[in-house]
Chains A and B, each alone.
Chain A
Amino acid sequence: MTSATYVFSGDRVALIVRGKTSHAHEPDLMQQHADCVLSNGAPVGFFGEGNTGSSGGGSSGSGASSKKSANSSGSSGMGLTGVVYDFAALSRKRAPYVDASIAKGSGVVSTVLFIQVSAAEAKAFDKAWADMAADPGSFQILGWNCSSHASQAFQKAGILAGGIPGLDTPNNIYLQLCTEKAGKVSVASGYVGFSAFGSGYMMMIDTP
């Protein structure tokens, strides 16, 4: 296994497709999730709370780590409460996304798409996610999901000009970025982790 570290110095952001094992791999529809990485290396992602079938009980949301909006319902994946998870919340709720050793133990492989951006784009991207965290709105598995929100942030930052071609899926926004930002992207796949570094985070990827 090889290991590589990546520092974010304000000139790049990233899209992470969970469940995507390589650039060429196309994960099943319900096996993929999209997170992003801010210009300081901080991981962030949009999720839906309130789907039935969970074991229920005990809320872990607290402070600034995870903010949510009202209205949640049903097992259909529609009309759920939207919530943005930062590193602290991901560490509790989705540790395989931020701890490479836990990712390896859980078999959670991710593909990271690094995107070179200008300082203005980076600032706008970070702000888009901060605005989303403050008021996440609802989550709909069809059309207003993790990839939809990632797309919103990329569009508000001027990194992408329009919405996701076809269905809003993590892999589709991945392909869109690869096409529209050709020459400004690079890819790495493996077990992804983050650690505090400077005023942000450093990413580590262990390649199986």
Chain B
Amino acid sequence: MGSKVPALKWEWPAGRPVETKLLVQVRSISKASKGFLGIGASPSFADSLPDATDIVASVVAGPSALVGSTVSLRVPGAEVKSLVQDRFAALGLVSDNTICTCIAEAPTNNLADAQTWLRDKACAR
């Protein structure tokens, strides 16, 4: 049984190659709260993201220690425009699996095909 992965942070790749790829099944997609009077959305906060969107997903393939885990992260809305709940997606991680620099919707909802896509094409830079 997988454990809860520490909450991931989003960063843009800035030339960093993906170190770990996860195949996840998206459980929920929701707009992030902007806090009291919208203060939480101020772009002067380091953690603020444009059109911040919260994702919760279950890891279905990747490093064995992470399979079965639940991951949560906040990403820019532009990165998840095509993401659909209950469908597969890839997460590309760096920095010892603490930072996500890539999120991509799988082109298939077939698990075996999605795993092949993850291995061969997903989050390739």
Binding site for B on A (CB under 8 A): 18-19, 28, 30-34, 46-51, 53-58, 60, 75-77, 80, 83, 85, 88, 91-96, 99, 102, 105-108, 139, 141, 145-146
CB of A55 within 8 A of CB of B11, answer no
CB distance from B11 to the nearest CB of A (A): 5
Closest partner residue, chain B, to A72 (CB atom):
B46
Q: Does B74 contact A (CB under 8 A)?
A: yes
CB distance from B97 to the nearest CB of A (A): 9
Could you say which residues of chain A place their CB within 8 Å of the CB of B9? Answer: 54-58, 60
Alpha-carbon separation in the docked complex, A141 to B99 (Å): 26
Q: Within B4-27, which residues are at the interface with A (CB < 8 Å)?
A: 6-12, 14-16
Could you say which residues of chain A place their CB within 8 Å of the CB of B72? Answer: 55
CB distance from B93 to the nearest CB of A (A): 9
CB of A57 within 8 A of CB of B98, answer yes
Alpha-carbon separation in the docked complex, A108 to B77 (Å): 12
CB distance from B42 to the nearest CB of A (A): 5
Alpha-carbon separation in the docked complex, A94 to B46 (Å): 8
CB of A53 within 8 A of CB of B32, answer yes
CB of B14 within 8 A of CB of A88, answer yes
13 residue pairs A–B, Cβ–Cβ below 8 Å = A30-B37, A30-B38, A48-B44, A48-B45, A49-B46, A51-B47, A53-B47, A54-B48, A55-B9, A58-B6, A58-B8, A92-B14, A95-B14
**Shortest 8 CB-CB distances between A and B: which pairs?**
A58-B98, A54-B47, A95-B12, A91-B14, A33-B43, A55-B74, A49-B46, A47-B46
Alpha-carbon separation in the docked complex, A51 to B46 (Å): 8
Size class of the B contact interface (CB-based, 8 Å): 35 or more
CB distance from A49 to the nearest CB of B (A): 4
Could you say which residues of chain A place their CB within 8 Å of the CB of B74? Answer: 54-55
Could you say which residues of chain B place their CB within 8 Å of the CB of A99? Answer: 12
Alpha-carbon separation in the docked complex, A147 to B6 (Å): 34
Could you say which residues of chain A place their CB within 8 Å of the CB of B32? Answer: 53
CB of B40 within 8 A of CB of A53, answer yes
The one of B34, B35, B42, B77 in contact with A33, judged by C-beta atoms closer than 8 angstroms, is B42
Q: A19-B43, A30-B38, A53-B35 are in contact. Are A93 and B11 (CB under 8 A)?
A: yes
Please indicate which of the listed interface residues A49, A51, A58, A85 has the most CB atoms of chain B within 10 Å of its own CB: A58
Residue-wise interface mask of B (34-65) relative to A, using a CB-CB cutoff of 8 A (1 in contact, 0 not): 11111111111111101100100000000000
The one of B10, B12, B34 in contact with A55, judged by C-beta atoms closer than 8 angstroms, is B10
Q: Does B95 contact A (CB under 8 A)?
A: yes
CB of A92 within 8 A of CB of B39, answer no
Q: Does B108 contact A (CB under 8 A)?
A: no
Could you say which residues of chain B place their CB within 8 Å of the CB of A108? Answer: 50
Could you say which residues of chain B place their CB within 8 Å of the CB of A51? Answer: 40, 45-48
